Structure 1
Amino acid sequence: MYDLIIRNGTVVTSSSAQKADIGVQNGVIEEVSTTIRIDAKKEIDATGLHIFPGAVDVHVHFSEPGRAEWEGFRTGSRMLASGGITTFADMPLNGIPSTIDKAALLQKAAIGEEKSLVDFALWGGLVPGNLGELEGLAGAGAMAFKAFMSPTGNAEFEAVGDLDLLEGMKRIAELGKVIALHAESGPVTTFLAEQKRRAGRVGADDYLATRPISTEVEAVERAIYYATLTGCPLHFVHISSAEAVSVIQNARAEGVNVTLETCPHYLLLSHDTLKEKGAVAKCAPPLREKPDQAKLRKVMKMGKIDFLTSDHSPCTPDLKEMKNGSFLDAWGGISGGGQTLLAAIRFVKEEDIPLTTVAKWTAEKPAERFGLAQRKGRIAPGMDADFAIVSMEQPHVVTPDNFYAKHPISVYMDETFPASVQSVYVRGREVFTSGTGPAEGASGKWQVDVVGPPVL
Structure 2
Amino acid sequence: MRASKAVPETFDTLITGAIVVGTNTQNAAQVGIVDGRVAALLDPREPAVARTVIAADGCILLPGLVDAHAHLREPGLTHKEDFSSGTHAAALGGVTTILDMPTDDPWTATDAQLSDKMALARGRIHVDVGFQAVVSHDLERIAPLHGLAPVSFELFTADVPEQFLFASMDEVVSALKRFARLDTLVGISPGDQSLLMGSAQSDRTGGIAAFLESRSVLAEAVGISRALLAGAATGTRIHVRQINSALGIETWRRLRGMADASVETTPQNLFFTVQDYASHGARLKGSPPLRDKADVGALRDALAAGLIDIVATDHAPHDAAEKAARYATFAEIPGGMPGLQTLLQAMLKLVDEGLIGFRDIARMCAQNPAERFGLGQRKGRIAPGHDADILIIDPRQASDIRNADQVSKAGYTPFDGWSVRGRLTRVLLRGEEIMRDGRLVANGKGLVLTREH
What TM-score comes out, normalization by structure 2 length? 0.93
- Return the match for 1:43 from 34, 53, 56: 53
Gap change, CA 1:452 and 1:245, over 3 Å in 2: farther
Equivalence for 2:166: 160
Distance 2:126 2:136 in 1: 30
Is 1:180 aligned to residue 187 of structure 2? yes
Corresponding residue for 1:90? 100
**1:173-322 → structure 2 map (5 Å cutoff):** 173-197=180-204, 200=205, 202-253=206-257, 255-321=258-324
Structure 1 Cα separation of the partners of residues 227 and 447 of structure 2: 33
Distance 1:196 1:182, change over 3 A: same
Distance in 1 of aligned mates of 2:64 and 2:327: 43
Matching residue's letter, 1:183: P
Q: Deviations over 1:159-208 (max 9, x none)?
A: 223344222211122222111111011121232134332xx2x3334422
Q: Could you tell me whether the CA contact under 8 Å between 1:56 and 1:86 is conserved in 2?
A: yes
Alpha-carbon RMSD across the aligned residues, in angstroms, is 1.7
Aligned equivalent of 1:379, options 374, 379, 382: 382
2:396/2:422 contact within 8 Å kept:
yes
Secondary structure of residue in 2 paired with 1:140: coil
Q: Is the 8 A contact 2:397 2:422 kept in 1?
A: yes
Gaps in structure 1 of 5+ consecutive residues: none
**CA distance, structure 1, for counterparts of residue 277 and residue 428 of structure 2:** 35
Secondary structure, aligned partner of 2:112: helix
Shift of residue 113 of structure 1? 1.5
2:67 corresponding residue in structure 1: 57
CA displacement at 1:133 relative to structure 2:
0.9
Report the Cα distance in structure 2 between the residues aligned to 1:370 and 1:296, rounded to whole angstroms: 23
Q: Which amino acid aligns with 2:164?
A: E
Question: Any idea what SS the aligned residue of 1:147 has?
Answer: strand
The Cα offsets for residues 83-125 of structure 1, whole Å up to 9 and x where unpaired, read as: 11111110011x2221111111111111221211111111011
1:66 maps to which residue? 76
The alignment's TM-score, normalised by the length of structure 1, stands at 0.93
| Aligned pairs (5 A) from 1:277-426 | 277-321=280-324, 323=326, 326-426=329-429
User: 1:112 touches 1:444 (CA, 8 Å); kept in 2?
Assistant: no
Paired residue total: 442
The range that moved more, 323-332 or 80-89, is 323-332
Give the whole-Å Cα distance in 1 for the aligned partners of 2:346 and 2:301: 16
**Aligned residue identity for 1:229:** A
How far apart are the structure 2 equivalents of 1:324 and 1:171? 40
Give the counterpart letter for 2:195 in structure 1: V
- What is the CA–CA distance in structure 2 between the aligned matches of 1:427 and 1:323, rounded to whole Å? 45
1:109 corresponds to 2:118 = yes
Report the secondary structure of 2:253's partner residue: helix
Which of residues 3, 13, 27 in structure 2 aligns to 1:4? 13
- What corresponds to 1:150 in structure 2? 158
The residue type equivalent to 1:144 in the other structure is: S
| Deviation by residue 1:207-254 (Cα, 9 ceiling, x = unmatched) | 22332211100111122221122111111011112322222232233x
Provide the C-alpha distance between the structure 2 equivalents of 1:402 and 1:19, rounded to a whole number of angstroms: 32
Find the partner of 1:16 among 25, 37, 43.
Answer: 25
Structure 2 runs not aligned, ≥5 long: 1-9
Instruction: Answer whether contact 2:92 2:440 (CA < 8 A) is retained.
Output: yes
Displacement of 1:350 after TM fit? 1.1
Q: Secondary structure at the match of 1:248?
A: helix
